[in-house]
Amino acid sequence: MLDHVSIGVRDAADSKRFYDAALQPLGYSCLSQSPGSLGYGSRAVQLWVNDAGHPVPADKDSGLHFCFAAPTRACVDAFHAAALRAGGRDNGQPGLRTAYGDNYYAAFVIDPDGYRLEAYCGNAE
Give the Cα separation of 101 and 116 in Å (integer): 21
pLDDT score of 63: 87
Question: pLDDT tens, 20-60?
Answer: 999 999 999 999 999 999 999 999 999 999 999 888 888 88
Question: pLDDT tens, 72-123?
Answer: 999 999 999 999 999 999 999 999 999 999 999 999 999 999 999 999 999 8
> Does the structure show a pLDDT above 80 at 125?
no
All structural domains of the chain with their residue ranges:
5-52+60-121
Q: What is the mean pLDDT of residues 3-9?
A: 95
Q: How far apart are the first and last CA of the chain?
A: 27
pLDDT score of 119: 98
pLDDT score of 89: 96
pLDDT score of 97: 96
Query: Residue 108 burial (CB < 10 Å; 0-12/13-18/19+)?
Result: buried
pLDDT score of 73: 97
pLDDT score of 59: 83
Tell me the fold of 5-52+60-121: 2,3-Dihydroxybiphenyl 1,2-Dioxygenase; domain 1 (3.10.180)
CB atoms within 10 A of CB 17: 12
